[in-house]
């Protein structure tokens, strides 16, 4: 069942287009929807995250979190613009940094 759900999410195919190797599409969709509404996916991801932290020798629960935001320039002055070789003109890309 889980492999069928992973197949749909990985390939982006429609539920009805699941290969015959998997259970019937409506059965797979039923469990996907059921597990989604019951929060099973969140519980599994939380457990895997904790397990990964323990494997790395860290505390299973982080002690703090950092949220960072930064302002990014969206426009450059004309002398800082790069050249778009494909268009043979000035582009809007940032200059190349060494």
90 pairs with which residues across the strands?
A: 83
CA 1/CA 10 separation, integer angstroms: 14
Write down the pLDDT at residue 65.
Answer: 78
pLDDT, tens only, 17-50: 999 999 999 999 999 999 999 999 999 999 999 9
Nearest of 42, 16, 41 to residue 31 by alpha carbon:
41
Write down the pLDDT at residue 87.
Answer: 60
Is 91's pLDDT higher than 70? no
Q: How many CA atoms lie within 13 A of 80 on its CB side?
A: 8
Work out the pLDDT band at 98, boundaries 50, 70, 90.
very low
CB atoms within 10 A of CB 53: 14
Q: What value does the mean pLDDT take over residues 60-83?
A: 67
84 pairs with which residues across the strands?
A: 89
């Amino acid at each position: 069942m889980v492999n069928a759900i992973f197949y749909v999410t990985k390939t982006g195919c429609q539920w009805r287009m699941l290969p015959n190797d998997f259970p019937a599409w409506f059965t797979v969709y039923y469990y996907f929807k059921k597990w989604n509404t019951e929060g099973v996916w969140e519980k599994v991801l939380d457990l895997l995250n904790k397990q990964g932290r323990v494997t790395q020798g860290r505390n299973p629960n982080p002690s703090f979190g950092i949220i960072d935001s930064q302002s990014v320039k969206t426009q450059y002055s004309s002398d800082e613009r790069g050249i778009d070789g494909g268009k043979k003109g000035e582009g809007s890309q940032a200059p190349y940094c060494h």
